[in-house]
Structure 1
Amino acid sequence: MHRFVAISGCSGGGKSTLLAELRRRGHAVVEEPGRRIIAEELQGSGQALPWVDIEAFAERAMAMALRDRAEAASLPGWIFFDRGLIDAAAALEHASGRPVLQDHASERYNRRMFMAPPWPEIYETDDDRQHGLKEAIAEYERLLSAYDHLGYDICLLPKASVAERADFVLDTLARD
Structure 2
Amino acid sequence: MQKQIIVLIGGPGTGKSTLINELVARGYSCYPEISRQVTLEAQQRGIDQLFLDQPLLFSEMLLQGRIKQYEDAVQESDKVVFIDRGIPDVLAYMDYIGDEYPEHFVKACEDIKYSKIFILPPWEEIYESDTERYENFDQAVKIQNHLVDTYKKYGYDLIEVPKDTVENRILYILDKI
TM-score normalised over the length of structure 1 = 0.89
Tell me the distance in 2 between the aligned counterparts of 1:2 and 1:144: 24
What percent identity do the matched residue pairs reach?
Answer: 28
SS of alignment partner, residue 53 of structure 2: coil
The equivalent residue for 2:70 is 69
Q: Pick from 115, 118, 128: which aligns with 1:114?
A: 118
Pairwise CA RMSD: 1.9
SS of alignment partner, residue 128 of structure 1: coil
The equivalent residue for 2:99 is 96
> Deviation string for 1:22-46 (max 9, x for gaps)?
1111111111121111122122353
The equivalent residue for 2:51 is 50
The equivalent residue for 1:123 is 127
Structure 1 unmatched runs, 5+: none
Tell me the distance in 1 between the aligned counterparts of 2:152 and 2:32: 23
SS of alignment partner, residue 80 of structure 1: strand
Tell me the distance in 2 between the aligned counterparts of 1:84 and 1:139: 14
Tell me the distance in 2 between the aligned counterparts of 1:62 and 1:14: 22
> Deviation string for 1:28-75 (max 9, x for gaps)?
111112111112212235387123222221111111111111222221
Q: Does 1:163 align with 2:167?
A: yes
Alpha carbons of structure 1 residues 15 and 40: separation in structure 2 relative to 1, 3 Å: same
User: 1:162: Cα distance to partner?
Assistant: 0.4
TM-score normalised over the length of structure 2 = 0.89
Structure 1 residues 157-166 or 2-11, which shifts more?
A: 2-11
Q: Is the 8 A contact 1:5 1:78 kept in 2?
A: yes
Tell me the distance in 1 between the aligned counterparts of 2:64 and 2:158: 24
Tell me the distance in 2 between the aligned counterparts of 1:24 and 1:47: 32
Q: Is the 8 A contact 1:33 1:84 kept in 2?
A: no
Q: Give the aligned length.
A: 172
> Deviation string for 1:102-160 (max 9, x for gaps)?
422120001x2100111011111100001111111111100001111111110111100
Tell me the distance in 1 between the aligned counterparts of 2:148 and 2:45: 33
Alpha carbons of structure 1 residues 109 and 97: separation in structure 2 relative to 1, 3 Å: same
Structure 2 unmatched runs, 5+: none
The equivalent residue for 1:24 is 25
SS of alignment partner, residue 114 of structure 1: strand
